Structure 1
Amino acid sequence: MDELWYEDFRVGETYEFDPVRVDEDDIVEFATRYDPLSFHTDAGAASESRYGGLIASGIQTMALSQSQVVDGLYGRSHIIGSLGFESVRFPRPVRPGDRLTTHIEVLDRRVSESDPSRGIVTTERTVVDGADAVVFEAVNNVLFERRSTNSPRD
C-alpha cells in the first residue's frame, strides 16, 4: 500500500480495522501491571462488583485500539504524533471474550499555522464489541507531514 501524507486524508473518509479478541488472561495480565483494580484483576471480586464480572481496563481498550490503528493505518503514514484527545468515553465495559473492532472517521483537517510543512487531522475513533455496542469513543488530533508545502492550504 502507498504511504499516506496529510493530503491523503479526506473529511468523511472512514477506516475499519481487523477485530481483536480480548481474553480473560489478557485482561488480568494488563491490569495487574497497569490498572490493578480488583474488577480488572480478580474474577471472584469482580463478580461481586457493580459490573457482575471481570472487565478490561479502559486504558487497555485504548491500547488495543491504538495497536489496530497503527497496524492498519498510521504505520504506513507520515505521522508525526498525536496532539491529544479532545474527548474520551467508555460507554460500556469490555468483557472477556469480546471481539473489538475499531473504526476511524476523518472529521476535519487543516494545515498547521505554526509550521505549514505539517497538517492536523481530527479523527473520531469508535470501538465496538461483537454486538456492535460502543465500548470506546474518542476525538483525536493527529499531526502528519505534508507532501509539499506547495499543496493547497485546506
Structure 2
Amino acid sequence: MEEFERKQLLERIDREGATVGASIPETVTVQGEEVNLREFVFEIKRRDRVPPGERERVDRAKRNLRRERLQRRQRIERGEVGYEEGRALAESIVGIDRALEALQSLGPANIEAEARAKEAADQKRWMSFLKQVLGDDGGRRGRS
C-alpha cells in the first residue's frame, strides 16, 4: 500500500462523523472469536437501560471491541496489509465504532449513578414545589 493510501484510510477512520450512515457489521471476529455484533447490539438496545446482571457482559464486549479496533488500526498504520485489505479493515473499524457508540448511549453505567440522578431530580422537584408554595422570594414577602 502506498503512503498516501495508508494516510487516506487512517483519515477515514479518525474523521469526525465517520460513523454517520455506517451500519453495524453482522458479525465480527474479536480476539479470535466470531461475534454476532449486530444481533448483540440490537438485543441490548431494545431495553431502555442495561439490567445490572447484563452490565458486566456489555462492559466486557466494549473492552474487547476497543481492543480489536486498536489492533486493526495498528495493522493499517504499520502498513502490514495491502490497500484492499486495509480498506476492508477501515470499514470494519467504522462499523465497530458505530457499535461502540450504540452501546455507550445506554442508560446510567451503574446503580449508584442512577440513584444520584434520581436524588438530584427529586431535590429539584422539591425546591420547585417550595418556591411555588412560598413564592419566589422564599416566603419573605412583606418583611422589611
Q: TM-score range by the shorter chain?
A: under 0.3
TM-score w.r.t. structure 2 length? Answer: 0.26
Q: Considering fraction of residues, name the structure with more helix.
A: 2
TM-score w.r.t. structure 1 length? Answer: 0.25
